[in-house]
Chain A
Amino acid sequence: MPDVWENTRSRWESVRHAVDGGGPGAGAASAALHGRLGLSVNPIAVTGEAGAGKTVLYDALTQSIRTGDSDSSRSPDIEKHATVLRSGNRRTRAAVTVIPGQLSTQRERALQDTMRGDASPHGIVHVVCWGHNRIWQRGSQRDVHEALAADGAVDQEAVRNWHLRKEAADFRLLVDAIIDGQLAKRLRWLIVAVSKCDLYWDRLDEARDHYIPGRARRESPFAALMRDLENETSLRLSVLPMASRLIRHQYLPGLPVGTSQLDDAQIGALRTHFGQELQTFITQRNGG
């Protein structure tokens, strides 16, 4: 039986190849989430750190944003969406809840409503961004700058590592709670969406080896957690690159700005592949 992580890498590489080689674009017939009210037959939770791009990812999948849309803002509350997933003649209903990334009353309420006790999503889309999280407040930006300066140089890599540590700590909580049966008891699949990858397309191999276990000489804490999930649960797992729209990224005020290395068509291809993977996971759960 082929190694699950080899399959995951192979899927990752096929997406990269499609994007680099001009694969199916945004206009191609694809699985997409269209905003519709309906029965909640496929509960899905979107999780991840604050500033990772959960809401923007959802919006991209529902095609409610285009790449030229204005800047995003911090989501103040729980976001719940009833949607219909389409692929050809097939339609699948989904209830998608975006769980706030910050420790807060809203996050607790969202977890209580969707993941604790008898409530459980069938699938989780966990959004990460290889350390390209956005920090909204000036005060927090200053704090991060000071903390990094106390430990050494303040550059993009230092900021990225700051966020990667937070990202791994956040994922550890989720993984431990799933393995211990405290959260999402009826969970069947988990997709890690490696978002904002248009900002680091030239370093995509590093991002892949950070999130997918198996190839790196020293496995990252995140990859180790993915391995734990594989060993301790029967979840179907996937890790895919994703970019929701063209963006610029300011690591911290005073540092160089990161810009998108992909164009609209390539981002469209990423969205298409991600949407197809999502639909495959949902429909296979339904026995399709």
Chain B
Amino acid sequence: MAAIDGGAAFLRTLAAAERRLAAVQALSARRRRVRRPRIATGSLAVLLPGVLALAAATGGGPGGVLVGVGLAVAALSLAACVALLLRIERPLNRRFVEEERAMIEEVNRMRELFTHVAERDRWEERLKTSVRERLSRFPVEGGSFR
């Protein structure tokens, strides 16, 4: 963790945190995109056998070929759902949590040091306002991306 021992270091850390924020937001969007097909394939894997079983129970069930195709599609959907979850979504979640934690840790340090650094380096009001606005774009812990 780099020391924030002056105005220049503070502004460098803030710029790095902003890049991290952009990365976290991109990861969050990607997670949402992956979650949709995973939910769709998971629903298909559950619904198809259910529909087939219901049809068989009511007597007018589909033929053997259709049942086979239906079960095959359900099995493929389940496989796709599991693959999406294990190969893409979970690693994405892990990366997201790590990146977000690192970003918030850095930002919390800056929130604590802001007044001190601004006073010590005699920052102009305009710079203070700008930094305040930039810090206000970050969430607090357990915040807005979930």
Chain A residues at the B interface, C-beta cutoff of 8 Å: 50, 74, 76-77, 100, 102-108, 135-137, 139-140, 143-144, 146-147, 150, 162, 165-166, 169
Q: In whole angstroms, what is the CA distance A100 to B142 when docked?
A: 13
Which residue of A106, A135, A140, A146 is within 8 Å of B140 (Cβ)?
A106
Q: Is the CB of B143 within 8 A of A76?
A: yes
Contacts A105-B136, A135-B112 aside, 10 further interface pairs with beta carbons under 8 A come to A74-B140, A103-B136, A104-B135, A104-B138, A105-B143, A106-B143, A107-B140, A140-B111, A144-B112, A169-B115
Given A139-B1, A150-B5, A165-B119: A102 in contact with B109 (beta carbons within 8 A):
no
Some 13 contacts from A to B, beta carbons below 8 A apart, are A77-B140, A103-B111, A103-B136, A104-B136, A105-B136, A105-B138, A106-B139, A106-B140, A106-B143, A136-B108, A143-B112, A143-B113, A146-B3
Which residue of A103, A107, A137, A166 is within 8 Å of B105 (Cβ)?
A137
Per-residue interface assignment for chain B, residues 3 to 17, with 1 indicating a CB less than 8 Å from any chain A CB and 0 otherwise: 111000000000000
Per-residue interface assignment for chain B, residues 116 to 140, with 1 indicating a CB less than 8 Å from any chain A CB and 0 otherwise: 1001000000000000100111111
Residue of A nearest to B135 (CB): A103
Q: Is the CB of B5 within 8 A of A146?
A: yes
Q: In whole angstroms, what is the CA distance A134 to B109 when docked?
A: 14
Residues of A within 8 A of B112 (CB): 135, 137, 140, 143-144
Residue of B nearest to A75 (CB): B140
Given A107-B136, A137-B105, A139-B108: A77 in contact with B5 (beta carbons within 8 A):
no
Q: Is the CB of A137 within 8 A of B139?
A: no
Q: Is the CB of A76 within 8 A of B5?
A: no
Residue of A nearest to B131 (CB): A103
Residue of A nearest to B134 (CB): A103
Closest Cβ of chain B: how far from A252's Cβ, in Å? 12
Q: In whole angstroms, what is the CA distance A263 to B141 when docked?
A: 33
Q: Is B58 an interface residue (CB 8 A)?
A: no
Q: In whole angstroms, what is the CA distance A102 to B140 when docked?
A: 8
Closest Cβ of chain B: how far from A91's Cβ, in Å? 34
Closest Cβ of chain B: how far from A175's Cβ, in Å? 15
Residues of B within 8 A of A77 (CB): 140, 142-143
Residues of A within 8 A of B143 (CB): 76-77, 104-106
Given A76-B141, A76-B143, A143-B4: A137 in contact with B108 (beta carbons within 8 A):
yes
Q: Is the CB of B109 within 8 A of A143?
A: yes
Given A162-B116, A169-B115: A139 in contact with B140 (beta carbons within 8 A):
no
Interface residues of B in 70-128 (CB under 8 A from A): 105, 108-109, 111-116, 119
Q: In whole angstroms, what is the CA distance A140 to B1 when docked?
A: 11
Residues of B within 8 A of A139 (CB): 1, 105, 108-109
Closest Cβ of chain A: how far from B100's Cβ, in Å? 13
Residues of B within 8 A of A147 (CB): 5, 113, 116
Residue of A nearest to B104 (CB): A137
Q: Which 9 A/B pairs are nearest by Cβ-Cβ distance?
A: A76-B142, A103-B135, A140-B112, A104-B140, A166-B115, A103-B136, A169-B115, A105-B139, A108-B136
Residues of B within 8 A of A144 (CB): 112-113
Residues of A within 8 A of B109 (CB): 137, 139-140, 143
Per-residue interface assignment for chain B, residues 45 to 72, with 1 indicating a CB less than 8 Å from any chain A CB and 0 otherwise: 0000000000000000000000000000
Q: In whole angstroms, what is the CA distance A165 to B140 when docked?
A: 22
Residues of B within 8 A of A136 (CB): 108
Q: In whole angstroms, what is the CA distance A102 to B142 when docked?
A: 13
- A104, A136, A144, A150 — which one has the most chain B CB atoms within 10 A of its CB? A104
Residues of A within 8 A of B105 (CB): 137, 139
Q: In whole angstroms, what is the CA distance A74 to B140 when docked?
A: 10
Q: In whole angstroms, what is the CA distance A197 to B115 when docked?
A: 24
